[in-house]
Structure formats: structure tokens, C-alpha cells
Amino acid sequence: MEAEKTGKRFVGKVAIVTASTQGIGFAIAQRLGFEGASLVISSRKQKNVDEAVEKLRGKGIEVLGVVCHVSNSQHRKNLIEKTLQKYGRIDVIVSNAAANPSVDSILETKESILDKLWDINVKASILLLQDAVAHLQKGSSVVLISSITAFNPPAGMSMYGVTKTALLGLTKALAAEMAPNTRVNCVAPGFVPTHFAEFLTKSDEMRNSLVEKTLLNRLGKTEDMASATAFLASDDAAYITGETLVVAGGMPSRL
């Protein structure tokens, strides 16, 4: 049983995880739930929200599902309001929503695509926190989900990588602004074969070339990202803020 391997660091706490009905977001939500959090999960489609809620409840997790397209102002406000109506507090926010709608080089990327990348990958985190900040408890925690591509944006994902670089700076800036009551940290996942990253991992050749760049000789698992996020969100990381934790199997990132 997966839940038996976990601690109970989030008992009595309320956690919001965006884009959390599948992939890395779902794994993060599930981990926080196994550790006792009351969860609020969200994504763009009601069907996906309902299915994810059912799965989590089936594992004994207390969860509320809300449809939220993070670039929609009313959706973001509704997410915070529904959380407060049901649970009355917010202790953890994990901002996981991201889009990668193009494989064009930066200089060939259409303005509408640049706007979408900026809106979802960077601006939505800021605006969600603007709505939430007045309701965050003392000792609360924010985790932004960046990417290994933040450190060296690869061809075919270059503008996506640049938006993820922005999250590294945003983590530092918000950590200073939200201290001392709220810690802000960041997880930079390596390559994880999810639906979101399907185009990178569906061909054996591409997959093998990514595996070769790691030291641990494998791609990441969603659970790897969930355990790192849970650590940063928990009181085990009570003296850590403004940091980015790279979870990429030793793939090159920084010195």
C-alpha cells in the first residue's frame, strides 16, 4: 500500500494543487493526501476533475475538486473561495499548471503562443498567489513547479524553458516578499514520461538519449517529483526558502 510508506506531515493542513488530475500534479496531490492533507485539486475539464476526485477518495483521501483554468481570473478566484468555504484555511499551494503549445524556435514563435506561455507558466502563479495571500496561515508553504529546461532551454522547448527560468527568479523574489510567514520554494523536475511529455518519450531513440544524460540511468517517475514537493512543503523544510530543488537523476543543471 503506497500510503504506508509515507509520514503524516500534513495532518490538519489544507493544500491546493493546480493542474492536478493527472501526471506530476496528481502524484503530488496524492502524496500530500496520503500524508493527511485536506486537498483541493483542479484542472480545466470537469470530467478529469471528477475522475481524479473519485480515485483519491477511493484511497481514503479528503479531497475537493474544482474546475480551474489558471489563466482565467474568475476560475482562480473561485478556486480560492471554494477552498475557504469548505476548509476555512490554506496552508500549502503547489503551482503546477504549465503549457508547451509549440516546438518553434523563439524567433519563429507567434505572439499569441508567447502570450499563452507567459500567461499559464508564469503569470498565473503570481495572480493565484495574489488571490490567496491574505488567507495563507503562518508557517504556510508555496511550491512552484519549474523544469530542468529552466537551466539550459533545449531546442524545441526553448521558450517553454525560458518561462521555467522565470520561475527560478520568481521563487527568489516571492520568498523575500512572503517571508517570514510563508516559505516559497521550487522543484525543477527532469524528464518524466507523462501525457504532458509524451512527445519527448514516445520514440525509443529520444527516450534513450534522455536516459543517457542522467546519472541514475532512468527517467523520472511522478512519485519522485511528489516526494520532493512534499518535503519542501512540509515542516521538514522549515528552514528552507527561496531554493530550487532539481529532481532530475543527476542530469546537468548547475554547479
Q: How many CB atoms lie within 10 A of CB 101?
A: 14
Q: How many helices (H) and strands (E) does the chain have?
A: 9, 7
In a domain, 168, yes or no: yes
In this structure, what is the dihedral angle of CA atoms 164, 40, 25, 98, given to the nearest 10 degrees? Answer: -30
Report the alpha-carbon distance of residue 20 to residue 212 in Å, rounded. 29
- List, for residues 88-117, the tens digit of each pLDDT value: 999 999 999 999 999 999 999 999 999 999
Q: Cα dist. 10→14, 35, 80, 177, 235 in Å?
A: 8, 5, 19, 24, 9
Give the single-character DSSP code of 80. H
In a domain, 9, yes or no: no
Count how many domains the chain has: 1
Give the single-character DSSP code of 183. E
The angle that helices 222-233 and 23-34 make with each other, rounded to 10 degrees, is 50
161: CATH? 3.40.50.720
In a domain, 1, yes or no: no
Whether 185 and 243 have beta carbons less than 8 Å apart is answered as: yes
In a domain, 97, yes or no: yes
In a domain, 212, yes or no: no
In a domain, 78, yes or no: yes
In a domain, 166, yes or no: yes
- Which residues span the domain enclosing 182? 14-190+221-246
Q: What is the pLDDT of residue 21?
A: 97
Q: What is the pLDDT of residue 197?
A: 74
Which residues are identified as catalytic? 160
In a domain, 127, yes or no: yes
- List, for residues 168-191, the tens digit of each pLDDT value: 999 999 999 999 999 999 999 999
Give the single-character DSSP code of 154. P
Output the nine-digit C-alpha cell for 192.
Answer: 518524466
Mean predicted lDDT score pLDDT of the chain: 95
Residue, of 206 and 53, whose pLDDT is higher = 53
Whether 142 and 95 have beta carbons less than 8 Å apart is answered as: yes
Confidence class of residue 141 from pLDDT cuts 50, 70 and 90? very high
